[in-house]
Structure 1
Amino acid sequence: MNNDDFYDPPELDGYQPGTMVRTRPVFVPQLTDAAGAWQVIYTSTTSRSETFAASGIVLLPEAVADPGRTAILVYCPGFRGLGGVCAPSQMLAVGTEPDITAIEAALARGWVVAIPDGEGLGVTGRGPHPFLAARAGGRVVLDLARAIYRDANLGAAVAPFVAWGYADGGRAVAAAGELHPWYAPELDMRGIAAGAVVSDLAALAPAFSRGVSAGLGLAALVGLSRAYSTLSLRHVLTEDGMAAAEAAQHLTAAELLARFPQPLAYWCRRPDPWNDHWWRRVLALETLAHTKPHVPLHLYHGSDDVIVPAQAGRRALIAYRQRGTQVDWREYHDDHRATAASATRDVLARLGEDIGDRPSRPSRPIDEREPGEPASRL
């Protein structure tokens, strides 16, 4: 896929966020319920409000559900890696996508399923992926929905939009709900489901600093520094750590975990790299529940999750409730991986109920800035 010119970055002069730039049909051998599939290149914006080319895939169901029961689902799986061959739009085309249960279940309901690759994945030369930068991920989600609405050539049914994500993907769709009222208020968004979500990133520090998830700690440093130019990796990493970070930019999640089993402190100038003025500031900016989504939010978690502790997810629930969000919670007696599969039926049922509800309206002016956002927007 590295030599595929479809994923070469296009010229974007004059393009607005959420515009389809190019599409092509593709065969997806793993999905029996897909009547058609399109790899897409569309425009979105970074956390610095800079326009860039993003990629993804749009899957059409064999039979579209009746009006009032069908939807356009933007689905964001968990973290796949900072680089390498881990973009869903490419993995589905070659038959190596590891997460098809939720996709097939949504297609079987007669929903269009759209999967963003995420900033830094798919499009050539855009990496590394800004892992844990939820607000950047939220824009990618909303702009993919926009692009589908605007491009009649895809053959997607006109339908309400719902979003579903897990772990880092769950953070992205939750952030999309917060951004929706001002970033893309024209979208008919009805509901959000987010699993294994942490609001305060500091809660991930113990798991990301040691143990089976240690490689994700290095990925977190690299990803957040990609999203925020004020963050200097050299300020917290040793020379060996800088070399490790450079290598990590091109690896999938599995490769990261296998190659960097050392505690995060092994690569750092201090035992706790997060306890730094600039890094603490970014962690605060990336905390969820700054504002409330204006659509129902369904949170779920595994009680035996050792990667994203369930207590951290419960704190996210409390934070959203304090904002007045319409939010519910379900806990499964499973670990991180098993919960992703266990929740599929419940999630689709909840989102299905949201589809039938009337769309909500923002309770504040759509030109009000999100905290920390620049005054000018595209």
Structure 2
Amino acid sequence: MVARDLTARFRGRASHTRATAGRGRSFAAASAAFVAVGALTLAPTVSAAPAPAPAAAQAGALAQLAPGTLLSSPVEIDPSAAGGALWIPGAARAWKLEYRTSTSGDGPAASTGTVYVPEGQAPEGGWPVVSWAHGTTGLGDSCAPSDTGWSQRDLDYLAHWMGQGYAVVATDYAGLGTPGGMPYLDGKVEAHNVVDMVKAGRNVAGADLSREWVVIGQSQGGGAAITTARYADEYGGPDLDYRGAVGTGVPAYIENIVAIAGPGMPPIALPKGMTAYGLYILAGLDTAHPELGIPSVLTEQGRALLGQAKVQCLGDFEETAVGTVLGSLFTAPLSSLPDFHRVLFDYMKMPEDGFGQPFFIGQGLKDTDIIMPSTLIYAETLRRNGQPLTFRTYPTDHSGTMAASLPDSTPFVRALFDGNPPAPSFGSAE
């Protein structure tokens, strides 16, 4: 359902236009409309508005709402939106929406996302759901996929799952296109966003989504998917029926690299993608934990790049940071910051046990975007801990793993929905 009982004091954030409808019906604009008792739709407005309410007041209003509550009326997507990049082939209908979820420290937050349903008649009980966790797009509000659309790689991949008869719901993640920054690679926050997106999708009239769902993700989203796999039942509660997960290009144990960063470490320029990811991690950590004082151990150039990391999307930021030696951006080790290691590992560490349902990890042996040996060690740790993991490797790179893994992940997911969970296995694709 759509929240109706918030006050008009949030009206001041209504500054977006129809052209940015993916995130444009901001939380504040939505809240202003909810004072009309019984109103189930949100009309765009460009009228004058009072000053924005303090962030604390907004958080207080959000805290009164259940996770997954819609904050505005969903907007149906036109197939030509964003040059067609928002439309998954095989979709019959699609919506953009904004919903209540959680951010760092379990604080209430807003997130945006999209819902797609396949062509044809929904099965009894509704369409089984794939909750998609996307890879890195950037940290700035303009980087939200519900605005920019999907890459061709992602469109092809999501079209495959839709062709299997599944609805797709896709969070942007809290802070990406909504108030507050995005705590990049905070797996627990991403897990809340992924789970609450399923709840929000089920509140969309006409979507007809089932309680049964799985999470699938790549890269940043691969880590989000596997962390979600650990917490899905806890975060979802009795209203949802979580079945399992698929993650490809999973970024495991990256915190071990971040923990030793400082002057001269790393001492050389890394590939531009890894340089951008490293700065995004620092920016996300600074957003989530400003008390650490990360800028205090950065050079002037480091502080400038940290600021740019918070607003630039991946392609642009890779070019901004290309050739940068990360070790040259520090005046002191990150480990010199009080309580840094505890905060870092709580923020980034992937879960190693406690998984209740089967999950699948696919890893490309030629992956240079993710520290591939770390993912292999992570998979072995999960196996030794007796977790319900199916693990496969493929002779391909980071992006190629998505398509290469489909012959294995497709029957895996089908078995999850059919109620025949696969037994754990560990090995390479034939």
What range is the shorter-chain TM-score in? 0.7 to 0.9
Matched, 1:89 2:146: yes
Question: What is the DSSP-based 3-state SS (H/G/I as helix, E as strand, rest coil) of the residue aligned with 2:308?
Answer: helix
- Indicate the residue corresponding to 2:250 in structure 1: 197
Q: Distance in 2 between matches of 1:167 and 1:203?
A: 17
Is 2:157 aligned against 1:157?
no
Q: Is the 8 A contact 2:255 2:349 kept in 1?
A: no
Residue 120 of structure 1 aligns to which amino acid in structure 2?
A: G
Alignment of 1:1-378 (within 5 A): 3=17, 4=20, 6-10=24-28, 11=31, 12-13=61-62, 14-22=64-72, 23-28=74-79, 29=84, 30-63=87-120, 66=123, 71-92=128-149, 99-123=154-178, 125-127=179-181, 129-149=182-202, 151=203, 153-186=205-238, 187-203=240-256, 205=258, 209=266, 210-212=269-271, 213-261=274-322, 262-270=324-332, 273=334, 276=337, 278-285=339-346, 286-357=348-419
| Runs of at least 5 residues in structure 1 that lack an aligned partner in the other structure | 361-378
For the 8 Å contact 1:160–1:188, the answer to whether it is kept is yes
Q: Helix, strand or coil for the counterpart of 1:160?
A: strand
Separation in structure 2 between the aligned mates of residue 318 and residue 215 of structure 1, nearest angstrom: 28
Indicate the structure (1 or 2) with the bigger Cα radius of gyration: 2
The 1-side partners of 2:139 and 2:338 are apart by 25
The secondary structure found in structure 1 opposite 2:222 is helix
The change in CA–CA distance for 1:358 and 1:65 in structure 2 (over 3 A counts) is farther
Which amino acid is 1:122 matched to?
G
The CA distance in 2 between the partners of 1:76 and 1:220, in whole Å, is 17
Letter of the 1:142 counterpart? V
How does the TM-score come out when normalised to structure 1? 0.85
| SS of 2:231 mapped into structure 1 | helix
Distance 2:290 2:67 in 1: 21
Distance in 1 separating the partners of 2:407 and 2:142: 29
Q: 1:316 and 1:275 mapped to 2: Cα distance?
A: 27
Q: Which consecutive unaligned segments of at least 5 residues does structure 2 have?
A: 1-14, 32-60, 423-430
Aligned partner of 1:368 in structure 2 is none
What's the CA shift for 1:294?
0.7
Deviations 1:64-106 (A, max 9, x none): 56459952000112111011532121123xx766521111111
The answer to whether the 8 A contact 1:69-1:355 is kept is no
Distance in 1 (alpha carbons) for counterparts of 2:122 and 2:366:
36
Preserved CA contact (<8 Å) 1:230 1:278: no
In 2, the alpha carbon distance for the partners of 1:113 and 1:62 equals 12
SS at structure 1 position matched to 2:376: helix
Of residues 235-244 and 135-144 in structure 1, the stretch that sits farther from structure 2 once superposed is 235-244
CA–CA distance in 2 between the matches of 1:322 and 1:227?
Answer: 32
2:205 counterpart SS class = helix
SS in 1 for 2:75: strand
Residue 200 of structure 2 aligns to which amino acid in structure 1? A
Give 3-state SS (helix, strand or coil) of 1:292's partner: coil
CA distance in 2, matches of 1:308, 1:244: 22
The structure showing larger relative contact order (alpha-carbon pairs under 8 Å, at least 6 residues apart) is: 1
Task: Output one character per residue of 1:230-258: Cα deviation in whole Å (capped at 9) or x when no partner.
Answer: 32222321222112211221111111211
Letter in 1 for 2:94: A
Shift of 1:290: 4.8
* Structural RMSD (CA): 2.7
Contact between 2:141 and 2:175, CA under 8 Å: does it hold in 1? no
Report what 1:372 is aligned to.
none
CA apart distance, 1:302: 0.6
Q: Give SS of 2:184's match.
A: coil
Moved more, 289-298 or 257-266: 289-298
Write the letter of the residue equivalent to 1:9.
Answer: F
Q: Which amino acid aligns with 1:38?
A: W
Q: Is the alpha carbon distance of 1:76 and 1:46 closer, same or farther for their aligned partners in structure 2, counting shifts above 3 Å?
A: same
Residues 38 and 229 from structure 1, CA distance in 2 versus in 1: closer, same or farther, beyond 3 angstroms?
same
Indicate if the aligned counterparts of 1:82 and 1:248 stay in contact, CA closer than 8 A. Answer: yes
Misfit runs of 4+, over 6 Å: none
Contact conserved, 1:64 with 1:110, CA < 8 A, in 2?
A: no
SS in structure 2 at match of 1:73? strand
Closer, same or farther: CA 193–2 of 1 in aligned 2, 3 Å: same
Residue deviations 1:179-232 (CA, integer Å, cap 9, x gap): 223222322000100112133223555999541121221111001221234322
CA distance in 2, matches of 1:348, 1:65: 20
Compute the displacement of 1:277 (Å): 5.1
